[in-house]
Chain A
């Protein structure tokens, strides 16, 4: 416990640590070790700050910081509560893990423009934490845009035709959604409500009474589809395209930071702007639940057809993200808890999966699943971790994904939505369908014709394998000991 004034500064430091690292990284571009030291230092400070805030939040406090009052009625402000803490903890912790892995990956492949890469990486983390801690919609929007822009060079990293096409699509969807849908919704909301601060509780929201139903519905869907990072169909199309990025980018940004920011914004708006009461009254929750159910099933089916490992993972992400929104949209306490805890569970599992894909690529330069037969015997740690993470995706105990499925199922029953149960069942079957064969073939299948592996273990560099194992271990740990993270979620909705 520190003095309360410390907690006023801590969120600012947490957000700005990586921002401050940017010039340092840029200046030490010619000395890679020093450059990486700055990344780690910033990541360490960031995590320390978030973690110290976590204890304070658990004690029942909410930190509110007013940074700059930009318009007479609006300010850039931070608010650290249990809802944002879930996301902030995960992303700041995973930055450390991912930074380790990234160094191995980038050096292993001797990638070009590494300095630019680390700069953008740091910027995007600043934006992600900024979103997690934002105290009103304007702040959230500002950091959301910052994230879109700072990740653009990462997606376009290879600078070839494919990379640019992916990056263009990425920006087109994200900016199109945010400028075209979210911004007007924001301003109209501001005109209606006179404020953009999030509500104190998740019940009431800030939309004033007497607002026309049509208007509320339009605003709601503008937010649902406008935060295109959440991957709800049909705004998901950027996600597979963005997988041309180097694997660490896909791992941290497109399994954790970027997409989770999208989901976080969506759920934040659902709960703290519209509020459970209003969503219940207008049946918005159920409609949303059906929309995202469609995404869950469709994305899983598309994933089945993909042979490129990263593409399959991308569609799996699209599907899993909708779980989170589904949970919240059901509005039953257990389902909301399940949805929110899935931010954590999915983050650890999916980052493991992407790390594995990257490790396989670095070690063997293989991208396609059909070429991976028998590879498990050469890279047992990688594929072991892969198997664990797939279990989490499927939702089998004792891995984290099970907790999610359990809560969401309970919530679905509470809400009395039997059709959704069918969706959950179908998606679980599909998850098994597209994950199990990968592991099975890797361990028990034969290598593709003309390829023989020398006996013995030939893993990726240690600096990559360790993060994989750490992430996989935590994935199991949060399945067995879910309480720590559940505390935060339960503070949002008891």
Chain B
């Protein structure tokens, strides 16, 4: 029991993003309201972004800008800095996510204009006519 507890606590960042992931997935799959689906999608994406960013963290490390010791020597140990690469990647992924959100909202607006509703079942009924 204690082991399990430790396992969860030690990797709490993974668990958090996992929970977010499932919340998002649930929203996308199960919600009837299309807006809520989009919200689910954003949560889903954010979960993955957090997962990536949390990987870069190191205990006691600082931002990846080279620091100098008192006698002006550069500190070149990897442990001293957080890993910058995930951040760079996630910056790109955020942009992708925003773009997706934008396109989704635009399409949603069109759906609302064409079908007069953003509830999935009502849209389907409208399509069947």
* Touch between chains A and B, by CB atoms below 8 Å: no
| Contact surface of B with A, Cβ cutoff 8 Å | none
